[in-house]
Structure 1
Amino acid sequence: MSKTRRISYLTAAVSAIALAAAACGAPEDEDNSRGEVPEEAKDCANYEQFGSFDGETVTILGSIRDQEADEMMAAWKFFEDCTGVDIAYEGTGEFEADMKVRVDGGNAPDIALFPQPGLMSSFKDDLVPASEDVTALATEGWSEDWLNYGTIDGTLYAAPNSSNAKSFIWYSPTFFSENNYEVPTTWDDLIALSDTIAESGTTPWCAGFESGGATGWPGTDWIEDIVLRESTDTYDQWVAHEIPFNSPEIVSAFDKAGSVLLNEDYVFNGTDTISATAFQEAGWPILDGDCAFYRMASFYGAMWPEGTNVAEDGDVFAFQFPETNEGDNTMLVGGEFVAAFSDTDATEATRQYLASEVYHNARLQTGPWSTAHQGVDPNNATTPINVLATEILTNPDVTVRFDGSDLMPGEVGASSFWTGIVQWVDGDKDSQQVADDIEASWPQ
């Protein structure tokens, strides 16, 4: 089970630019329950490039459900109306299992929105490679880092869809202003500020790893962020198992995370509460001044209590996880990829549309969402935190790496890594023991 899928309905919102062209009699939007479609997206001139179809159906399977699914469908409604394509979308809470059953049974969807590149690659023999047109749109829209995650054995199979900024630390701008604190830009600055806050009588950090059957995943993000900031080469080798999980560099990352998460002077309510504290509410004590920091992705902007002002000068906001090496600019990311099992003309048209600036601009205006597509304007994001996330995600100077546990085999990334991080934070095993156990679980 992918953590990207688990939190997809809370993905951070991002921006859009206006779609230009004179109106050409697009159909009226009669379904207002699926998000607010911008007027510009109703112009059929924007869809002529994708062709014309007479009621042909394209099936899409994804992990996106509920309100986010409604907002996604609202974004492509006028593609359907203007081209004649009927998109039959189905969201499932058991995406990985359902994909295997359907593909094995010869009932694969035309398109699947894969939240895990590693899972997608396991279906390589059944996938349709990206056409020249889809490849051109993807190459124009995304950085090489992103395209690599949609590529299998040198061939592009899938353009990216949504993009989540994960390397964020939440804080209270008011608390910082009242105490003349500055946002730290390096790890050393972060630890020095944590010490200062602790000495002042406020607990520096909140933390929570509880997530039902997926308990532990917030802790894996800590390790991934630290490994990434120590060395992108090491990160790449680690997730590909070119170096063992229990390599000294990885054990060191656990120890570095432990300087925060295993520090009784740092953690609100004590380190022994972390694994039992629900990640959804773990950051809320910031609002009461009970802690100063909470590490969690940009999607967390949608999880604060109703009425919370999430803004740079509001109740809470976030800053980018500090770098270890001067000059680095890195971001841990998640997202989905648009892969196809069918090569019909209608499927091809839909793939092109989902890879286009037209779709990403429309989708960004129908509800909370983020994308790394280079054709969007971050200032059109629906909330300040989404402006920040989009600025980072669309900045070609930012080095992105996909969530490590989502790239690892399921036996590791969605099992032994989760359980191991809980044993570690509970004090049952030390860094070396946990890393050794996880390495032993890696499939041969």
Structure 2
Amino acid sequence: MMRRRTTLLTSCTALALALGATACGNSDPVSAGGGDKALSGQTVTVAGVWSGTEQKNFQKVLDAFSAKTGAKTQFVSTGDNVSTVVGSKIEGGNAPDVVMVPQVGVLQQFAKQGWLTPLSATTGKSVDAGYAPVWKKYGSVDGTLYGLYFKAAHKSTVWYSPEVFQQAGVKPPTSYDEMLKVGHTISDSGLAAFSVGGQDGWTLTDWFENIYLSQAGPEKYDALAAHTLKWTDPSVVEALTTLGKLFKDKELVAGGQKEALNTDFPSSVEKVFGPKPDAGMVYEGDFVAGVAHDQFKKTIGKDANFFAFPAVDGGTAPVVSGGDAAVVLKDGKNAKAGMKLLEYLATPEASAVWAKAGGYLSPNKSLPLDAYSDAVTRATAKSLVDAGDSVRFDMSDQAPAAFGGTKGAGEWKLLQDFLRDPSNPKGTAAELETAAAKAYKG
């Protein structure tokens, strides 16, 4: 499985604005894994895709757990291919106790292979109290809760340059059609509307998913994600047609289709927030802010801001998310202590540690918004939490890797081909169905 978005940029600190607020409420000592150094002398091994800034910030959470329980922790970075690395460790008798899983499909794979231990009743109570039911659904397999979503991404944010908007005399739009009109006004003022990072196929899947969720609705989104609805369905063709109109409009896409296909995600952010802007907007998740802030020294909220991905054709504005779920492996040498770590991660106390460090959103509604010290982060977190059960997990992350998570193959490649030539949405839908049918069968 491929890990995308935040780990593509080890310094991607999402909304890293030195969140200064401290935590929010004390968790129950038992549910937090102790408080009386009950785990002294034990070591919990945690594996995950994080590296760089993300790993350092998660280590602060692990250190807080250690201070509370007396347990030592060891983090092992797996790189993108979590399932392969964890599988080989299990076979070698060196399984970690806890794995931070970045995709629903990987969590389901682990559970079906019998690798996971169901989460404790204590963790289950925390999830029921603090999370919208949809997060429990994505963490469960066949009705059993295996995964706790500790970190989330908000993938329904469009980032823009306030200076460009002011010069063009436009305001953040509230509908998809209005967004395209704003884009044409920006184009008339001398810049393209959107920077599109088409070299990274996952950005194109995110474009499609937001349009599809708003246009077709959550029921069809869920069916398409599970492949109980075929990609040849008219709703898919309609969404591709909507997306294709944007792709083929040279006034809207910076450098046109060819340049978009040669632009990776970091470069797409640079085209808006770098020293020589080519566009006024870039669509992607909340982690755009980290790149704009860290690499281009933009003050979030002043030099860079966002608006919610707008509703399409009268539908509901979409909220597409992603996230990392903590799971406990049966074969871990210290799985019981690992379960105590998850009980701690389920508390707002744990979430507040990373919130203070920056680059973090929590799906836990028990974490007060004032744990995020700036208005932009609070607005993003509020949007995610307020969406409740209408949140939908990234569709490609729910798919088998061969279809939804492999460079140069499946959905990534076919949407790149569509960006190159968006003239035949029906034909692209048929190709997507062929690839999906093969991957889901496998």
In the TM superposition, what is the alpha-carbon distance from 1:103 to its structure 2 partner?
3.0
2:222 aligned residue: 236
Identity of aligned residues (%): 24
In the TM superposition, what is the alpha-carbon distance from 1:378 to its structure 2 partner?
2.7
Does residue 216 (structure 1) correspond to residue 201 (structure 2)? The answer is yes
SS in 2 for 1:323: coil
Does residue 321 (structure 1) correspond to residue 322 (structure 2)? The answer is no
Contact 2:32-2:343 at 8 Å conserved across structures: no
SS in 1 for 2:391: strand
* Alignment partner of 1:438 out of 426, 432, 441: 432
Contact 2:101-2:327 at 8 Å conserved across structures: yes
Does residue 360 (structure 1) correspond to residue 345 (structure 2)? The answer is no
Contact 2:355-2:372 at 8 Å conserved across structures: yes
**Separation in 2 of the partners of 1:428 and 1:198?**
21
**Separation in 2 of the partners of 1:47 and 1:155?**
21
Q: TM-score, with normalisation over the residues of structure 1?
A: 0.87
Letter in 2 for 1:74: K
In the TM superposition, what is the alpha-carbon distance from 1:241 to its structure 2 partner?
0.2
Q: TM-score, with normalisation over the residues of structure 2?
A: 0.87
Equivalent residues in 2 for 1:378-397, closer than 5 Å: 378-381=369-372, 383-397=374-388
Gaps of 5+ in 1: 22-40
* Alignment partner of 1:258 out of 223, 227, 244: 244
1:113 aligned residue: 100
1:24 aligned residue: none
2:14 aligned residue: 12
2:194 aligned residue: 205
**Separation in 2 of the partners of 1:277 and 1:223?**
18
Deviates most, 393-402 or 63-72: 393-402
In the TM superposition, what is the alpha-carbon distance from 1:165 to its structure 2 partner?
0.7
Contact 2:7-2:51 at 8 Å conserved across structures: no
1:284 aligned residue: 270
2:50 aligned residue: 64
Deviates most, 234-243 or 341-350: 341-350
1:407 aligned residue: 398
1:100 aligned residue: 87
Letter in 2 for 1:348: M
**Separation in 2 of the partners of 1:108 and 1:45?**
25
Letter in 2 for 1:232: P
Contact 1:102-1:108 at 8 Å conserved across structures: yes
**Separation in 1 of the partners of 2:255 and 2:43?**
54
* Alignment partner of 1:227 out of 202, 206, 212: 212
* Alignment partner of 1:82 out of 64, 68, 76: 68
In the TM superposition, what is the alpha-carbon distance from 1:283 to its structure 2 partner?
2.9
Equivalent residues in 2 for 1:60-209, closer than 5 Å: 60-93=46-79, 94-124=81-111, 125-209=114-198
Stretches (4+) displaced over 6 A: 43-47
In the TM superposition, what is the alpha-carbon distance from 1:45 to its structure 2 partner?
12
**Separation in 2 of the partners of 1:390 and 1:122?**
29
**Separation in 2 of the partners of 1:298 and 1:396?**
15
In the TM superposition, what is the alpha-carbon distance from 1:379 to its structure 2 partner?
3.7
SS in 1 for 2:363: coil
**Separation in 1 of the partners of 2:271 and 2:161?**
10
Contact 2:270-2:277 at 8 Å conserved across structures: no
Query: CA, structure 1 residues 361+229, in 2 after alignment: closer, same or farther (shift >3 Å)?
Result: same
Letter in 1 for 2:307: F
**Separation in 2 of the partners of 1:371 and 1:69?**
16
**Separation in 2 of the partners of 1:291 and 1:200?**
11
Letter in 2 for 1:283: V
Residues paired across the two proteins, number: 419
**Separation in 2 of the partners of 1:53 and 1:205?**
52
**Separation in 2 of the partners of 1:19 and 1:384?**
17
SS in 2 for 1:283: helix
Contact 2:205-2:411 at 8 Å conserved across structures: yes
How well do the aligned residues superpose, as a CA RMSD in angstroms?
2.6
**Separation in 1 of the partners of 2:22 and 2:130?**
14
Query: CA, structure 1 residues 265+175, in 2 after alignment: closer, same or farther (shift >3 Å)?
Result: closer
Contact 1:424-1:434 at 8 Å conserved across structures: yes
Deviates most, 112-121 or 9-18: 9-18
Contact 1:11-1:370 at 8 Å conserved across structures: no
Query: CA, structure 1 residues 282+329, in 2 after alignment: closer, same or farther (shift >3 Å)?
Result: closer
**Separation in 1 of the partners of 2:379 and 2:426?**
37
Query: CA, structure 1 residues 293+365, in 2 after alignment: closer, same or farther (shift >3 Å)?
Result: same
Gaps of 5+ in 2: none
SS in 2 for 1:436: helix
Contact 1:4-1:115 at 8 Å conserved across structures: no
Contact 1:12-1:386 at 8 Å conserved across structures: no
2:320 aligned residue: 332
In the TM superposition, what is the alpha-carbon distance from 1:248 to its structure 2 partner?
1.6
Q: Deviations over 1:44-92 (max 9, x none)?
A: 9987458612211111110011221111111221321331111111112
Contact 1:311-1:384 at 8 Å conserved across structures: no
Contact 1:99-1:108 at 8 Å conserved across structures: yes
SS in 1 for 2:359: coil
1:30 aligned residue: none
